[in-house]
A and B are shown apart, each in its own frame.
Chain A
Amino acid sequence: MTRYLLGRLGEILIVLLLMSAVVFCLIGLMPGDPVDLMVSGNPKMTSEDAARLRALYGLDRPLWGRYLSWLGSALGGDLGYSRAFSRPVLEVLLPRLADTLLLMGLALLLSAAIALPVGMLAARRPRSAIDYGVNLLCFAGISVPPFWLALLLIMLFAVLLQWLPASGVGNGPIDGLRHLAMPLAVLVLANVGHYTRFVRAATIEVLRQDHIRTARAKGLTERQVVRRHALRGALAPTLTVLALSFGGLFSGALITETMFARPGMGKAIYDAIMGNDYNLALVGLLLATAATLAGSLLADLGYAWLDPRVRLRAGP
């Protein structure tokens, strides 16, 4: 097990290193650079100014040279400065990460907490009125565009009823919760449909298997069959979906954050890419990659725990 874990951690480090090179080059190869953006917004900047700033930011050096010097600094613990905020990258990203983790983590938990029982309920009575009702709601949740839902909620709860603030993060826990309510609702409504459909499909699949038939033949009630045998079986594939969503905990939800003016990771990464803020984009994307890889590792560990047939060992 220890060998397996060390092997997987090594793989993660290699993937992160490769990702850093790929992302750095992709961002560097995009048209325009930060100085171009300054020139287009400032008619007083001369060509001499542009050349001076390019040299100062190191933009006159070849891409690989810039990458190597970034990598050297990063390995020494210096991830560089954000151009858009004139602050160290981590100082910009960490508060956003905390906010995103809170929002996305709660959304994931709530979505999973709703999807598991509802999906299993629908799976126990396929093609019943309950199943059709659940499916209808799921498809409605999947189909509604988050930006439209966000605007609808803002108009209803902030403009019309004036119960909740329209945007921002608030000060203090109570105010923070009030600011969290609508973005959380949007994310839960957008995710819960997917998860419910997945749990439903996984449970139907498990309920058809031999060991379930055996459990029923032993005289267990349907509730006991589901709780003791089907749930465990259905959880394993569900874990895959949740593990893939784990990366989202770090990369944020761009549309929801934009609509509710929450300074989260999704917005930060998007703005950094569009604004040529190389360091911020790079570190933000690496964090999201690391989280996805960590989620995948956790899912594999979860499989082993949930399914006794799965055993983990390091590769040949």
Chain B
Amino acid sequence: MTALRRFAAPLLAIALAGVSPALAKDELVIGMTQYPASFNPNIGSMLAKTLVESMTSRPVTAYDPDWALVCLLCTELPSLENGGATIEEYAPGKKGIAVTYTLRPDIRWGDGTPISTRDVAFTLQVGQHPQSGVASAENYRRIRQLDIKDERTFTFHIDRITFDYASAGDFRLLPAHIERPVFEAAPAEYRNKSAYETDTTNKALWFGPYRVARTVPGASIELERNPTWSGKAPYFKRIVFRIIENTAALEANLLSGSVDYVAGELGLSLDQALAFEKRHKDRFVVVYKPGLIYEHVDINLDNALLADRRVRQALLHGIDRAAISARLFEGKQPVAHGPVSPLDPMYSDAARHYAYDPAAARKLLDAAGFGDIRGGIRHNAKGERLTIELGTTAGNRSREQVQQVLQSQWKQIGIDVRLKAEPPRVFFGETVRKRAYGGLAMYAWVSAPQSVPRSTLHSQEIPSEANGWSGQNSGGYSNPEMDRTLDAAEIELDATKRKALFAEIQRLYSEDLPALPLYFRSDAFILPRALKGVRPTGHLNVSTLWVEDWRWDDAAGR
């Protein structure tokens, strides 16, 4: 007994050592499921990095939670009306646009060095260098010339006219005084040797409300207030991102208090959040934010059975998407009628909506020549059975559930559906990329506000062996009218005319059905009742961009 006591006493002491009464809320612990692959703002693209870097730096422009484009580092959004943007002909027959930004006078790197046009020039140099490792270099390539007026004012001469010219997009400033020597020593090594990777806690790298204070690769990232931040002072002294990849463990951490808040952008799945809300709504508020993640079923138009538009329309009439959304997702994921979100200013309600109508679906299939029903399955005059394969990513519970519902509902109209699930790397790396799926492929596209769906709908974007399987139009959809409309929408500067072109894109989409729209995915933000000010955006500019508005209200948490 004495031995047992001798053994148990230190264990109990160790256990109790961590149970101390909570002090003032200086620290906010955010749980998320991924660790960033890189801290360099321009290398790689990963949601985990975006969540962290939105607290430690800022883009020049961004879409705010109301989906309006705003200046974050510039003093005024350039436009044709205010003279900040001008159309120019830079070569015979070639028109571009010159966009002038002025940096805010109060922005400084964490070591006190003012942010200036030197940083702009350096960032452009890195972005345009073929060996720098920048993932998405299209925006950099489009800048054909940079004019620097003074320390704060610069002009991008862009090689084409696009309606979203005022957005600086992915242009994320790099500190020239820290990064230039590393980059110029070996551009091809820059992605690994950048101070963002080798000296992540160097305060000169950061200029947001917070700066990176400590990292434990794969486990956690600690941020502390940045004294050089001149904007609204953030409430929390420290913010800790704790990486817990298993969402069941993440939920347990939230309940135990090891984690205060789970980021909706990278946290619990919707079904988990729905179950969590039912059990713990006294302690947490769950906010569901539908966004720009478009769940759909791609159709391989090389499949002769699916080449007939009537068959595709029958497929969409044959599924009860409203019931799927209501039963599986408790109505939190709105039904999609096309690739443009209803939250997007370019959304048009005029495009055709397909209600659940099995009778209409049967008529369409009869008209398409599949009137011969044998053993409950339709056949055409050639005796071909209407059997289609529906593939998706293995391990995604929501998709696997939807897959089964679709199979069952399509069977009721005489379509035999074979289900297939592949690991994501096989599904995306081979099956979708190389258009190797036999009939249908269910997955999601992510887009930006007002983005023209060129990469998924233009005939030039059909992946093939000849173009090295590039492009994202994996269904092989080709319609010259759609191509013309997409081309026109990209360069139309008049908002009203652009909206009309977007409406036409949505109309053509709903008639041709190159893919079957399912729903827009929602992020579930699990907020403790005391945490105020978090505004989910639903788009790629994440909620952490406005971290200085977050605060802890103990009274609300009680």
Contacts and interface: CB of A to CB of B under 8 A. Distances in A.
Interface stretch (A26-34, A131-139, A200-208, A237-245): A26-34
Interface stretch (B69-77, B463-471, B518-526): B463-471
Contacts of B130: 52, 56
A259 B246 contact: yes
Given A85-B217, A87-B197, A168-B220, A162 B257 contact: yes
Given A168-B220, A263-B218, A154 B249 contact: yes
Contacts, number: 186
Interface stretch (B91-99, B112-120, B426-434): B426-434
A96 B217 CA distance: 9
Contact of A263 (B47, B219, B257): B219
Contacts of A31: 425-426, 429-430
Interface stretch (B146-154, B311-319, B359-367, B441-449): B441-449
B242 A32 contact: no
Size category of the binding interface on chain A: 35 or more
Contact of A151 (B194, B219, B249): B249
Interface stretch (A43-51, A63-71, A109-117, A295-303): A43-51
A154 B257 contact: no
B18 A164 contact: yes
B79 interface: no
Interface stretch (A3-11, A12-20, A171-179, A284-292): A171-179
A167 B247 CA distance: 12
Interface stretch (B36-44, B172-180, B229-237, B481-489): B36-44
B138 A166 contact: no
A50 B35 CA distance: 23
Interface stretch (B9-17, B269-277, B396-404, B490-498): B9-17
A85 B37 contact: yes
B82 interface: no
Contacts of A169: 216, 219
B17 A167 contact: no
Given A151-B252, A158-B252, A177-B14, A44 B425 contact: no
B244 interface: yes
Interface string B218-259: 111000000000000000000000111110110011011110
Interface string B129-145: 01101011111010000
A98 interface: no
A260 interface: yes
Q: Which of A44, A87, A92, A258 has the most CB of B within 10 A?
A: A44
B192 interface: yes
Interface in A216-246: none
A83 interface: yes
A36 B433 contact: yes
B18 A178 contact: yes
Nearest to B469: A47
B44 A47 contact: no
A96 B249 contact: no
A166 B260 CA distance: 13
A163 B19 contact: yes
A52 B137 contact: yes
A44 B138 contact: yes
B38 A86 contact: yes
A261 B135 contact: no
B191 interface: yes
A47 B469 CA distance: 8
A74 interface: no
A96 B138 contact: no
A258 B433 CA distance: 30
B117 to A, nearest CB: 25
B512 interface: no
Contacts of A56: 130-131, 133, 188
B45 interface: yes
A132 B470 CA distance: 64
12 contacts: A44-B45, A44-B136, A48-B138, A50-B468, A56-B133, A85-B217, A158-B258, A165-B258, A175-B17, A181-B14, A258-B245, A276-B425
* The 10 nearest A-B residue pairs measured at CB: A32-B429, A47-B470, A263-B218, A158-B256, A31-B430, A163-B15, A44-B136, A42-B45, A261-B244, A86-B197
Interface of A: 30-33, 36-53, 56, 81, 83-88, 92, 95-96, 147, 150-151, 154-155, 158-159, 162-169, 174-175, 177-178, 181, 258-263, 267-268, 274, 276
Given A86-B191, A163-B16, A274-B425, 10 more contacts: A33-B429, A38-B44, A42-B45, A43-B447, A46-B136, A88-B192, A158-B256, A167-B253, A168-B258, A259-B248
